[in-house]
Amino acid sequence: MGIDKQGNNKDSFEPGLNIMGKVTVFSEGCRGHLGKEVIKKYKLDNNKSPQQYGIGFKEIWEIPEDQHDEGLVMHTAGWPLDNSTYGGSFCYHAEKNQVFIGYVIGLDYQNPYLSPYDEFQQFKTHPAISKILKNGKRISYGARALIEGGFQSLPTMHMPGALLIGCDAGTLNMPKIKGSHTAMKSGMIAAEVINEYIINNVSLSDYEIKFKQSWIYNELYKARNVKPSFQWSLIPAIIFTGIDQILFRGYLPFTLKHQHPDHESLIPAHKAKKIEYPKYDGKLTFDKTSSVYLTGTNHEADQPVHLKLKDPELPIKYTLNEYDEPSQRYCPAGVYEVDKTEQNNPKFIINAQNCIHCKTCDIKEPSQNINWVVPEGAGGPNYSNM
Ligand code: SF4
């Protein structure tokens, strides 16, 4: 429902007209294109810990009945990542002999040669996982950034005439890798406050008060120290998390800070160890092209590239030399390539039509040179059952 300039409600609008509303609610999910702008414009993240993100992968498999155990839930941490890289997996045996398998990797990883996509593919070759997937069929693939900063990175969630809710703000409970319930609750609180705002003219800043009075605040508070403890590497973090979560139930009398935004974490390529990933076998592990095919991604042809480079020269003139252009590896859809056909004249290629809208490039590009904007014509991945 919109309200026009005369204050009348309008059920429908002609294209090109302004839609005027008393309150705008930003709820675009993790790293919202508009949310990012309003956080910057209104300095909503002042005095907060830098926001943190992860890239999450998920595949759906149909597996033989004798390998299926409906209801079984598995979570792992670590392998194939090294101990200094934050990440872990989930494996859910769902109904109809389906398995939902996924892997999440913190985007604060340091090695520019790391390929999150290939780490996930390799994860499936672990004997404990490959025996589940053996002779199965992969039917879906998807990837999306997750917001991981939690309690200490939550921005101020109100601004003049607008609220920021759900993963656009950062309400995901990272240790549980669950955010639907918290996002829904933040939306319910927003609805109550907007109702009061319109009827009784209360301030939109009441959103923060109601948020603090809700169970959502307490849940995020108790989970707040898990992610930042992984800056000490896997084993100390697991020991600390055991003490924090089991002994103190999340109420230790201090709050750990996140050190820096994810785009600042890469070390230069010449200081990093190159990583050679095994070839895809087409049974458990697959290339990016066949994975993107499963997403049903489509963009209208001949539209402007929706991955905007602030400086088009930077990928070749700086990022290639300094970090061996990591977008070739962190993009889970193979959108970015460096064409070295002409030895002294490499070219940076953007295959924007393959973009599955995960937002990783917008987050991880070391100079923040890539700006993801909404493509024309509602294009993008067409996930089913994900
Ligand atoms: S181009 Fe960016 S948003 Fe699109 S799939 Fe690649 S990393 Fe994700």
Q: What is the pLDDT of residues 52-98, one digit of tens each?
A: 999 999 999 999 999 999 999 999 999 999 999 999 999 999 999 99
Summarised one tens digit per residue, pLDDT across range 195-242 is 999 999 999 999 999 999 999 999 999 999 999 999 999 999 999 999
Cβ 292 under 6 angstroms from ligand 1: no
3-state secondary structure of 23: coil
Write down the domain spans for the chain: 23-48+150-224
Cβ 145 under 6 angstroms from ligand 1: no
Handedness of CA 314, 315, 320, 323 (dihedral sign): positive
Query: What percent of the chain clears pLDDT 70, i.e. is strictly above it?
Result: 96
pLDDT at 17 over 90: no
Q: What is the per-residue burial (b if ≥16 Cβ within 10 Å, else e) of 195-229? A: ebbeeeeeebebbbebbeeeebbebbbbbbbbbbb
Residues 6+ apart with CB under 8 A from 357: 144, 372, 380, 381
pLDDT number for residue 377: 82
The DSSP-derived string for 128-172 is: HHHHHHTT-EEEEEEEEEEE---GGGPPP-EETTEEE-HHHHT--
CA distance 195 to 184: 17
Nearest CA to ligand 1 atom 8: 358
Cis geometry, peptide bond prior to residue 346 (ω within 30 degrees of 0): no
3-state secondary structure of 375: coil
Summarised one tens digit per residue, pLDDT across range 248-271 is 999 999 999 999 999 999 999 999
Backbone phi, psi, residue 24, to 5°: -110, 135
pLDDT number for residue 15: 65
Nearest CA to ligand 1 atom 1: 355
Cβ 33 under 6 angstroms from ligand 1: no
pLDDT at 6 over 60: no
User: What token pair was written down for 72?
Assistant: 């079984």
Q: What is the CATH number of domain 23-48+150-224?
A: 3.50.50.60
pLDDT at 11 over 50: no
pLDDT at 5 over 50: no
Ligand 1 atom closest to residue 330's alpha carbon, by position in its atom list: 7
Cβ 299 under 6 angstroms from ligand 1: no
The C-alpha angle 31, 32, 33, rounded to 5 degrees, equals: 115
pLDDT at 13 over 50: no
Which among 374, 215, 358, 240 is positioned nearest to 307, based on CA atoms?
374
Asked whether the beta carbons of 22 and 3 are under 8 A apart, the reply is yes
Cα–Cα distance list, 164 to 19, 48, 313 (Å): 19, 16, 34
Cβ 144 under 6 angstroms from ligand 1: no
Beta strand pairing status for 162-164 and 24-26?
parallel
Summarised one tens digit per residue, pLDDT across range 93-116 is 999 999 999 999 999 999 999 999
- 65 C-alpha to center of ligand 1: Å? 35
Cβ count within 10 A of residue 303: 13
Q: What is the DSSP letter of 24?
A: E
pLDDT number for residue 294: 97
Residues 6+ apart with CB under 8 A from 312: 348
3-state secondary structure of 11: coil
**Angle, nearest 10°, between helix axes 215-223 and 180-200?**
140
Cα–Cα distance list, 350 to 142, 237, 314, 323 (Å): 20, 38, 14, 18
Which among 356, 384, 383, 385 is positioned nearest to 372, based on CA atoms?
356
Residue type, 110: Q
User: What token pair was written down for 37?
Assistant: 């702008």
